[in-house]
Amino acid sequence: MFDVETLGKESNSVILSMACIHFDPDSKPSPQQLRDNTFFCKFDAADQIKRLNRTVGRTTMDWWAKQCDNVKIKSFKPNVAIDERFEDGYERMRRWAKSKNEPDSYVWARGNLDQLVLDSMEEQLQIEPIFPFKRWRDVRTAVDFLTGTTNGYCKVNYPGFDPYLHITKHNPIDDCVLDVMQLIYGVKE
């Protein structure tokens, strides 16, 4: 499962952070096991704007202003202690992905923006993609197909798991956890 937080809705937008969870649906992982199998990195947005000419969307900035402090701290607010150049975080993710998954496993994301933004950055920097195009899958479509919903979300049938208590939307790690939980434990309402 893959998720990014950005400063826009265009393919050349600044990437603030990204998370990726390796999971085996047959192993029936718990939310904590999913978190334990997470890769996360936070990027230097100013570097992307200055050095790479990545874009910032006004409506997205307005949207970020309305988010809770925890989400802003996780992805939006600069933090010199952990923010890194995109290339450095990307190479760490490449090593992590190589250690975790098989070359033909799927890469799930909610919609296509995450894939488009990552593809754009890879092309701009002329770096080989970690996840080839043919491996990407859309969570929303799968959830709707599997559970009969029409909005890309479903109820999760896992003891003690309550998305309203255990998930902070727009925290890329939590977004990945919720999407995996829906794919594995999603039920028709």
CATH of the domain at 55: 3.30.420.10
Per-residue pLDDT tens digits for 125-141: 999 999 999 999 999 99
Residue 113 lies in a domain: yes
pLDDT given for residue 102 in this prediction: 75
Residue 185 lies in a domain: no
Supply the range of the domain harboring residue 95: 2-137
What does the block give as tokens for 100? 């975790």
Residue 47 lies in a domain: yes
State the pTM of this model.
0.96
| Residues facing residue 2 across a β-bridge | 20
pLDDT given for residue 101 in this prediction: 65
Residue 147 lies in a domain: no
Which residues does the chain have with pLDDT short of 50? none
The dihedral of CA 176, 181, 184, 189: what is its sign?
Answer: negative
Residue 187 lies in a domain: no
Residue 169 lies in a domain: no
Per-residue pLDDT tens digits for 72-96: 999 999 999 999 999 999 999 999 9
pLDDT given for residue 10 in this prediction: 97
Got the DSSP string for the chain? -EEEEES-SSTTBPEEEEEEE---GGG---HHHHHHTEEEEEB-HHHHHHHH--B--HHHHHHHHTS-HHHIIIIIS--TTT-B-HHHHHHHHHHHHHHH--TT--EEESSSHHHHHHHHHHHHHT---SS-GGGEEEHHHHHHHHH--SSS--EE--TT--HHHH--TT-HHHHHHHHHHHHHHEE--
Residue 51 lies in a domain: yes
What's the number of domains the chain is made of?
A: 1
